């Protein structure tokens, strides 16, 4: 087929127009004003190799999904505050060389995420109103250096409504990370930061919070509503404080595990605790707690369930002349529990005035190892006692003002009484074996300095206390009666201990 000259001319014109469009599109790709999801370069020291020399100029042209990459240099925002644009990422070279001399602020009405990384700045304030739709991505603050981070936005209608989630990771913080906002459903991860100051959760209900692997000189505190919070794997020179709310159905909502807590009362004040747990429910497990000075290890005043398991707690031995039978608000305790039902088990305790002071609810106190306290365990709680070891205390091993039962425990080589029973009521008659609770006995009560078992107080309504099938210092009935047990046979008005059969 023969093509005319006019047809050739038309084809040439069309090809020329097409190439012009392609070239204009390529030029537009290098123009930050037309970019979406592109990198915008900022370099305060070299305008030829970057798009802009100030961050504000870059933000003015950036669109949702863009990344502003900031070269090494010092940048001073107008008025001392850099205001972010929703959905635009800010990324520096590193925290040593990329420095913003001022604060960063986000007070937008948007669900698009914030992302800051590899920069140094003063403070970041997130002050948005509550989101109207579900935010699809986490806000990210990563590998930055700053003084404080304050997440403070408007209250959401309920704990099931969507809210802003945050990943705060790898930062160096000189003052505080603080969440202070209303209710809403979110997931916040605070991981692997170095914080000289506090990590504070003061939020409404609904969030899931994970505070993990941080190094903190100060306090990790949860003062929130009904949230689910895990505090795990942190090294803390200071304290952990939980005063959060909880679920009405008793769902476990505060997990505090595998932390190292070193508490020096000279830093934070005397008569405090390395961990203070007063939320609705909590599990405190596998932590290492080291206390110096006059301070307690773990104080628990939470609800049900509360479990204290597998912790290693070391306190100095401090003698105090206060009444040893009153609540020890001014005495040092490795564990001081007034909690609801739950377990106190497999803890290893050294030192303190009390190893464990217990007025908690039902459950079990099992397999705890207590050494070198002034008094090993004082209990008026509602727990069963099994397989605990109490040794080498400077006074009594075990003081009982509750029923137990007490089985398979080892109470040896304490300088005071092995076991001292006081405040006997008809509802709290202790069972050391063979009593009303069918206790198995099998306690080993030996080598104590002032009798193995002492009945301290009289109750004319309680004739007999059962302590059958136990191991005593002596092997003959008369010797056990005369040398190992102090009861109504020694002092009129005291209950008689029925210790036969024995082992």
Q: What is the pLDDT of residue 323?
A: 63
- What does the DSSP 8-state code read for residue 114? P
Q: What is the pLDDT of residue 318?
A: 81
Q: What is the pLDDT of residue 416?
A: 96
Q: What is the pLDDT of residues 188-246, one digit of tens each?
A: 999 999 999 999 999 989 899 999 999 999 999 999 998 999 999 999 999 999 999 87
Q: What is the pLDDT of residue 29?
A: 42
**Model confidence at 37: pLDDT above 70:** yes
Record the tokens describing residue 288, joined without a space. Answer: 């290492």
Q: What are phi and psi of 261, to 5 degrees?
A: -120, 120
Can you tell me the mean pLDDT for 330-359? 93
Q: Model confidence at 27, in pLDDT bands (50, 70, 90)? A: very low
**Model confidence at 72: pLDDT above 90:** yes
Record the tokens describing residue 98, joined without a space. Answer: 């990329």
Q: Model confidence at 1, in pLDDT bands (50, 70, 90)? A: very low
> CA angle 494-497-498, nearest 5°?
150
**Model confidence at 33: pLDDT above 50:** no
Averaged pLDDT of the chain: 89
Can you tell me the mean pLDDT for 421-436? 90
Q: What is the pLDDT of residue 36?
A: 56
Q: What percent of the chain is modeled with pLDDT above 90?
A: 70
**Given the DSSP bridges, would you call strands 260-264 and 228-232 parallel, antiparallel or unpaired?**
unpaired
**Model confidence at 406: pLDDT above 80:** yes
Q: Model confidence at 116, in pLDDT bands (50, 70, 90)? A: very high
Q: What is the pLDDT of residue 248?
A: 66
Phi-psi label, residue 278: left if phi above 0, alpha if psi -120 to 50, beta otherwise: alpha
Q: Model confidence at 270, in pLDDT bands (50, 70, 90)? A: low
**Model confidence at 14: pLDDT above 80:** no
Helix (H) or strand (E) holding 12: helix 5-29
**Model confidence at 448: pLDDT above 70:** yes
Q: What is the pLDDT of residues 316-340, one digit of tens each?
A: 998 877 666 666 777 889 999 998 8
Instruction: For 182-278, list the strands marked E by DSSP.
Output: 187-191, 194-196, 198-203, 208-212, 215-222, 228-232, 235-242, 254-257, 260-264, 273-277
């Amino acid at each position: 087929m023969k093509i005319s000259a006019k047809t050739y001319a038309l084809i040439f014109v069309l090809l020329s127009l097409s190439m012009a469009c392609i070239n204009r599109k390529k030029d537009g790709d290098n123009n930050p004003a037309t970019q979406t999801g592109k990198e915008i370069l900022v370099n305060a020291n070299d305008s030829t190799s970057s798009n802009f020399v100030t961050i504000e100029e870059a933000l003015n042209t950036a669109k949702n999904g863009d990344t502003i990459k900031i070269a090494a240099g010092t940048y001073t925002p107008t008025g001392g505050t850099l205001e972010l644009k929703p959905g635009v990422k800010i990324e520096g070279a590193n925290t040593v060389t990329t420095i913003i001399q001022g604060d960063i602020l986000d007070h937008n009405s948007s669900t698009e995420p914030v992302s800051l990384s590899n920069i140094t700045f003063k403070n970041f304030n997130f002050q948005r109103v509550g989101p109207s739709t579900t935010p699809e991505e986490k806000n990210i603050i990563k590998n930055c250096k700053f003084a404080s981070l304050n997440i403070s936005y408007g209250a959401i209608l309920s704990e099931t409504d969507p809210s802003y989630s945050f990943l705060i990771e790898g930062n160096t913080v000189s003052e505080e990370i603080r969440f202070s906002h209303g209710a809403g459903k979110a997931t916040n991860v605070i991981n692997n930061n170095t914080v000289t100051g506090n990590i504070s959760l003061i939020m409404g209900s609904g969030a899931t919070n994970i505070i993990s692997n941080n190094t903190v000189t100060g306090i990790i505190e949860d003062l929130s509503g009904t949230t689910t919070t895990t505090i795990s794997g942190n090294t803390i020179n200071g304290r952990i404080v939980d005063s959060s709310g909880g679920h009405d159905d008793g769902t476990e909502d505060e997990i505090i595990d595998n932390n190292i807590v070193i508490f020096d009362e000279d830093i934070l004040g005397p008569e405090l605790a390395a961990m203070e747990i007063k939320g609705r429910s909590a599990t405190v497990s596998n932590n290492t707690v080291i206390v110096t000075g006059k301070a307690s290890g773990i104080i628990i005043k939470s609800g049900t369930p509360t479990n204290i398991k597998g912790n290693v707690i070391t306190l100095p031995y401090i003698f105090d002349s206060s009444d040893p039978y009153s609540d020890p608000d001014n005495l040092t305790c490795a564990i001081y529990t007034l909690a609801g039902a739950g377990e106190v088990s497999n803890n290893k305790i050294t030192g303190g005035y009390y190893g464990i002071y217990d007025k908690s609810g039902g459950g079990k106190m099992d397999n705890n190892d207590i050494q070198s306290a002034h008094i090993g365990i004082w209990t008026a709680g509602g727990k069963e006692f099994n397989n605990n070891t109490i040794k080498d205390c400077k006074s009594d091993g075990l003081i009982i003002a509750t029923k137990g039962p007490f089985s398979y425990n080892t109470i040896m080589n304490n300088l005071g009484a092995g076991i001292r029973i006081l405040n006997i009521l008809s509802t709290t008659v202790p069972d050391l074996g063979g009593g009303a609770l069918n206790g198995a006995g099998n306690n080993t009560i030996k080598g104590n300095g002032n009798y193995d078992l002492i009945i301290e107080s009289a109750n004319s309504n309680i004739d007999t206390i059962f302590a059958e099938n136990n191991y005593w210092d002596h092997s003959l009935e008369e010797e056990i009666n005369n040398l190992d047990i102090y009861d109504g046979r020694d002092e009129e008005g005291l209950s008689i201990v029925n210790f036969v059969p024995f082992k």
